[in-house]
Amino acid sequence: MEIKRILIANRGEIALRALRTIKEMGKEAVVVYSTADKDALYVKYADVAICIGKERSSDSYLNIPAIISAAEISEADAIFPGYGFLSENQNFVEICSHHKLKFIGPSVAAMALMSDKSKAKQMMQRAGVPVIPGSDGAVADTKAAKELAKKIGYPVILKAAAGGGGRGMRVVEREEDIEKAFWSAESEAMSAFGDGTMYMEKYILNPRHIEVQIIGDSHGNVLHIGERDCSMQRRHQKLIEESPAILLDEATRERLHETAIKAAKAIGYEGAGTFEFLVDKDLNFYFIEMNTRLQVEHCVSEMVSGLDIIELMIKVAQGEALPPQESITLKGHAIECRITAEDPNTFTPSPGKITKYVCPGGRNVRMDSHIYQDYSIPPYYDSMIGKLIVWDTDRNRAIHKMKVTLEQLIIGGIKTTRDFHIAMMENQDFINNNYDTNYLSRR
């Protein structure tokens, strides 16, 4: 089935990024937007643009009836969800199917299996994928949490089964702190996800966060597009991503890729997805979760492979077979810095009007952003306003290129994290690859 018209159920840089690929493929792009985003570039560039509600996400980008109505009015064939909002909403996927709209992503079954972190862990164990020691399912209460923590040893981490983005997570180092941590995490999970179910794992000290980009098709094929190192984080939020992960030796890298492919095949996965692992100091890796959607940081995988992952997602949704793994060559080193409208020291949001914007360019430099001069950043959504990505033949050259490129990026009128990233490109620990997921919390 050829898809001819695709509705983009998202906003910001990913909406513009997806629109470009859709148009390059000779297809028509429909965008939906809130009243706060009426001046966005993707609204101007779309073949069809439909306002679906007011500023709040619940009135617009999470408003399923409005999005489905927009798809029917515009006669769209398919929906591209991007990331965030409805990208992992099983109810939305089922409603799309009911309205004969192709959801460009995995099946409801695969999404349901991997969205529950404790069930996903059990599935991975059955598939022979290494997992962190912890609860086999949900931890019922604080008594059960104490008993399990005593068994696997402190420190432990409590996690929301329906969680993500660092919410509903607490590290516990002593038994006397476990009750408070459990109730706090449970309450946060209920507020964020409407589900307070908790599970527990052994907490790995100072790990690296490595993930593998995969994509599967309806013919049983699964490809990997290398791995990414996403260890530079603040409060579990990724700030800088790289590919490849240079701490891995070739044998470990190959095992990691094979493990991700095996896991994807075990659940019959179709579409783009990411398997996330924690890697300890001895290069042992452990599955932590799968994201059943496109990742923010997919760009670094595109830069080292030369592939367009959104194009592959659309082709898979049309029923096409993926190319063979042997046809994919991973070369050089790519780095991505997430540019957010935040204070570079405190990371507090800084919405407002952009009074000056100079976008850097040059060979192997990419800026995925929806902003422009005189654009006003609305205060209602995520603060990310762009992703700056560079590629070079090795990591040291890529770091230097990123520093030079960041210095050429000018965004006036608001505070951004540009200066934070410049400092990181000069940071000797980062340059020497001597950091972990907790690095920034120790500074």
Catalytic center residues: 293
Strand 78-80, strand 5-8: pairing: parallel
DSSP for residue 349: B
CB distance 171 to 157 below 8 Å: yes
Distance CA 112, CA 130 (A): 21
Residues in contact with 181: Cβ distance below 8 Å, sequence separation at least 6, in sequence order: 158, 170, 171, 172
Distance CA 24, CA 45 (A): 13
Distance CA 265, CA 260 (A): 9
Give, for 30, the enclosing helix (H) or strand (E): strand 28-34
| Residue 353 neighbours by CB distance under 10 Å | 12
Whether residue 344 is preceded by a cis peptide bond, meaning omega within 30 degrees of 0, is: no
CB distance 28 to 22 below 8 Å: yes
Distance CA 281, CA 108 (A): 36
Q: What tokens appear for 121 in the block? A: 């862990």
Distance CA 8, CA 370 (A): 14
Residues in contact with 7: Cβ distance below 8 Å, sequence separation at least 6, in sequence order: 30, 31, 32, 67, 70, 71, 74, 76, 78, 79, 80, 101
CB distance 304 to 333 below 8 Å: yes
Residues in contact with 100: Cβ distance below 8 Å, sequence separation at least 6, in sequence order: none
Report the length, in residues, of the chain: 443
Distance CA 390, CA 213 (A): 18
Tell which residue, 353, 399, 358, has the closest CA to residue 374: 353
| Residue 376 neighbours by CB distance under 10 Å | 14
Strand 222-234, strand 198-202: pairing: unpaired
Distance CA 258, CA 262 (A): 6
Q: What tokens appear for 241 in the block? A: 């991503």
Distance CA 289, CA 279 (A): 13
